[in-house]
Structure 1
Amino acid sequence: MIKLAIFDLDGTLLNTIEDLAESTNYALEQCGFPKHNIKEYNYFVGNGIKKLFERALPQKERNETNINLIRKHFLYHYNTHNTNHTRPYPGINDVLIQMQQSGILIAVASNKYQEATENLIHFYFGKHINFIAILGQREGIPTKPDPFIVTEILNKANVSANNSIYIGDSNVDMETAKSSNIISVGVTWGFRTEKELLESGANYIAHNTKDIINICQKL
């Protein structure tokens, strides 16, 4: 029986790619580096903003100095513009409400930095969803696929891995679930492909949000 559902944020609950791309391109432009089209960002995100900046920079310019410079301009822009284009995926609100009504605890485990993770969750879902935990990337805490963040949530919820499910859209998420000994659900509406999810060990695939509820009811 599923008692806890842990969700990734970007590409799973929210379509954030356009705002992430615009803010990164803004930062690159401010620093004199070439910009990228939005589709390229599907493969830049997923491992935290430091890795995002590293991937966005020209290969010969990938050093700590440039990454920190990009970070400064990105945060200035993204903290102001991160809801310009971002939206919940169709049906996600209904899934969260249905889970909550059925007694399933809900949490977020993201590689997005903590401030933005909290702000976006509260902005889009805070009025009607009670999250047991909202955890993003924090200083000194290993990022996914390390199981640390998931273990934190399991301990806070006082729920075992056997009664939990992890839902995400990328290989990082499937590897996070595997390292945490949690059943994984790969969603195909996010930033990566079904092929990647399956190759990364997804236990189940959700092609639409209703599939998540159906999977939970089977377990």
Structure 2
Amino acid sequence: MNTIRFFMFISGLLLSLSHAHAATVEKGKPNQRFTYEVSYLGMSIGEMTQAYQWQGSKVSVDSAADFSFMLFSFGGNQQSELDWDEDKGLFYSRYFQRESEGFSTVKMTATFDQLGQSTEIVNNGETSTFTSDGNQIVDFNAINLQISEGLKRGQTLFEFYMQTSTKVSHYFFEVKGKEMVKTPLGEVEAYRVEQIRKSDRTFVTWFAPKFDHQMVKFEYQRRVLDIEGELIDYRNDI
């Protein structure tokens, strides 16, 4: 199991296809922290957190995972710097630093150009560059924020190009409606968002308006993987 790829999948989703609506990011938005319990085949394997610190139209995101299974411990963290473009209604990844330990060891930095269409990656001391033929590239920490804003504007189809350590991956997601979801923090109404155009996996997430349209639950199944997670703690204005 690649820790960082797994963490990237369950931590976020997407870049929206349509930007025609007005921006909804509030000035003076409070800092936030979301903590999720993660389970494999129904057994808890640890927690992951996402913390957001805002300064005007800029946001710093700190994501961390701390897992253990049987005799193995693994995890990692990623710190990202993002910009919000009010005219386009988009979050732009500017820079991130990632480290992971366990099944794989990664020390990686990424720097994005002004338009977000090319990146320079330094991965375990080796430098490489990536381009997306005119499409915006983001890191996974931008994705949860982008889908949150898209849901507020009523978007139902999403597409994003996400930078990994070795390539730019292309993903699609679709809103399938609203459902009532039980969580440790109570039952909430949430948008059901599913990954599409991938026949080898099932990836479903739920985003709740009550928690600032952020993720409250996810399910991911692929081959031998059967992973679930749910929000267990939410801190506002930390």
Q: TM-score range by the shorter chain?
A: 0.3 to 0.5
Q: TM-score, normalised by structure 2?
A: 0.31
Structure number with higher relative contact order (C-alpha < 8 Å, ≥ 6 residues apart): 1
- Which structure has more strand as a fraction of its residues? 2
